[in-house]
Amino acid sequence: MALGLLPAMALAGAAQVQQWKNLPGYQATDSLAEGDLNRAADVSATSQTFEASAADGASALRVYGWVVPPADGDYRFMVAASDTAVLFVSADGKPEGRKQVAMVPAGGGRMEWRRFAAQISKPVTLKAGRKVWVEAIEKSGDGGGHVEVGWMLPDGKTEEPIPAKRMETATQKVGLPTYESVKSTLTLKPEARPVTQPGDHLFPGGATVAMADDRFDMSYLLSLPSDYDKTGDKRPLLVFLHGNGHQGSDLGGILNEGPASFMNDRPGLRKWFPMIALYPQLPNNWRWDSPGAAGMVVGLIEQVCQRYPRVDRDRVYLTGLSMGGKGTWLVALESPQTFAAIAPISAVATRPKSAGARLATLNYVWIICGERDYLFTQGSRQMDEALRPTLGDRVKLTVVPGGEHGCWANYYPTRPFYDELMKHRRGQK
């Protein structure tokens, strides 16, 4: 349903639609977190299917209302969008109880429901005839946008998008979701005992994460320097966040991407590498921008520091590539006091309005991107501009000439990258 074709009015079985025009950025979560949607919408309309679209660029779309399940059972909600989007559901029908259940991390085609695992929710148990609050917010940077919401019924059939016959119109004014950092508690399992021998140590399912409504295991890899068993000095800690496609529990993806992979291919680099390295692995269907993921990483770092007292807490460094680059921003924003320096590589812009004030305590921020990486290049430049007024020359932007998305291969295999990080200590200016 294109905005402007149907006037805003109360229709039986209609979803409410709002559009905000001329909004900067590309991330739906950033628009919520930074209050970009707090002003009145520029356009309001209704849609007789659970979807919305707009021809205008640099805008945000919101589509919301009640849906009524036709049968008891487990439902899965789905969201598709042209750019990034987040989907909220409140099973008790009260908007104030809505929680994020799915997201579109990067754009796709209309009704493209399965490009990313995160687009489909976990099962939500519903009662027939008891209305459910559903709401999606999409953010597009240019060229217009669209967002669609569907669901899978208990019998396995899908409705894409949810049709008018399943909807009850929301006639009252309902405020926007409040973006909140999801709290989690992470503990290392007793059997994940401290290690002392140099090399890579795999801990599949070695940590337990508890959230308000979820509990699961998380895997991680810990690598100790080649001379760790022959010395007793404190060591810096490098934390690496992997890219999309390496989620799971077997740690195979961690060993095939980023610093761990390059060190396995370059014995000289591994022999020299002086830091303890920590590689968390996201569970299946998770992303570093999933609610609670940043807190999981902070909790893992804290637990590792407690279990390995030789970690120098004033020299903790954070880096990641692509999705892990965005995760680097999010984890640093979650707990800036944990780190001396961060190095996001090939990352989109993340909370640029608030990042300068939030990351002011960091001693060093090194932003790396390729010259020809489009949205990632633009996002890296935007973050540099956002941080520079606060951090000054403590922020550095490196644009690799002719470089594309995989420009991390210019840095993770090299000693100078790690030497640059290790120049910095927490609290040092």
Q: What is the pLDDT of residues 102-122, one digit of tens each?
A: 989 877 889 999 988 889 999
- Residue 22: the pLDDT is 86
DSSP designation for 176: P
pLDDT tens for 50-102 read 999 988 777 899 999 999 999 999 999 999 999 889 999 999 999 988 999 99
299-316 burial: b if 16+ Cβ within 10 Å, else e: bbbebbbeebebbbeebb
Q: Pairing relation of β-strands 15-20 and 132-140?
A: unpaired
SS3 387: helix
**Phi and psi dihedrals of 53, rounded to 5?**
-150, 160
Going from the C-alpha of 70 to that of each of 126, 162, 189, 329, the distances in angstroms are: 9, 12, 43, 42
Task: Work out the percent of the chain whose per-residue pLDDT is above 70.
Answer: 96
- Residue 11: the pLDDT is 35
Tokens (6 digits) for 149: 């919401």
Tell me, letter by letter, the H, E, C secondary structure of 15-65: EEEEEECCCCCCCHHHHHHCCCCCCCCCEEEEECECEEEECCCCEEEEEEE
Q: Sign of the C-alpha dihedral, residues 185, 186, 188, 194? A: negative
Q: Which residue has the tokens 């240019």?
A: 142
* Residue 254 pLDDT > 70: yes
SS3 136: strand
Residues in the chain: 429
Task: Work out the percent of the chain whose per-residue pLDDT is above 90.
Answer: 74
pLDDT tens for 146-175 read 999 999 999 999 999 999 999 998 888 888
Average pLDDT of the residues of the chain: 91
161 preceded by a cis bond (ω within 30 of 0) = yes
Which residues have CB under 8 Å from 97's CB, separation 6+? 90, 91, 133
Going from the C-alpha of 224 to that of each of 45, 55, 85, 153, 282, the distances in angstroms are: 58, 53, 39, 49, 21
pLDDT tens for 304-339 read 999 999 999 999 999 999 999 999 999 999 999 999
CA neighbours closer than 13 Å in the CB half-sphere of residue 214? 20
Residue 12: which pLDDT band, with cuts at 50, 70 and 90?
A: low
| Greater model confidence, 321 or 284 | 321
CA neighbours closer than 13 Å in the CB half-sphere of residue 242? 26
Tokens (6 digits) for 429: 């200016």
